[in-house]
Amino acid sequence: MGIFGAPNVARLKARSDLKGLLTALRYPRHAAIRRDAATAIAELASSLPSERLQPAIQPLIQALNDQDYAVATAAVAALAAIGQPAILPLISALRASPEKIREGAARALGRIGATLQEPAYLRLSVDPLVNALKDPDTAVRRATAWALGRIGSRLDATHCALPMENL
């Protein structure tokens, strides 16, 4: 990362510099740098141990609220790439955060749930998603319905009767 200039995301990614990428994720001047940082974190997620990725989860959740849609979308992808370690923080974000963060959290949970191998974690995310179908924000409800649709085929019979009003 340059001392006086914009962060070099490609160099940070090549060095697996997660701390530098997290700094770039908060870079205020250019949304493209924030987007590229989130994308780089997503690409590194498969090669880094989960304990090393833990510090990235909360900054990525905050990036869901970025004014630039591409940054928020890249943050969803990064959280989905992190996978299981992001589930509990995403559930918390789904319950209490601003609307854009709740919407992004629902999308990330849907992407994680579609590929999750651990049934206990799948069940853990379903009830909060079902509850989010009652969210006052239309975008959150739509994202939640989408997420449940992604993981729907993996649900057991107890979760098949989802309330669909207000969608």
Secondary structure in 3-state letters for 30-86: CHHHHHHHHHHHHHHCCCCCHHHHHHHHHHHHHHCCCCCHHHHHHHHHHHHHHCHHH
Domain 1-82 matches domain 86-167 at the CATH topology level? yes
Residue 122 pLDDT class (50, 70, 90 cuts): confident
CATH 1.25.10 fits 1-82, yes or no: yes
Q: Where are the domains of the chain?
A: 1-82, 86-167
- The pLDDT > 90 percentage for the chain reads 73
What integer pLDDT is reported at residue 5 of this predicted model?
81
Residue 70 pLDDT class (50, 70, 90 cuts): very high
Flag whether pLDDT at 19 surpasses 80. yes
Q: 86-167, superfamily in CATH?
A: Leucine-rich Repeat Variant (1.25.10.10)
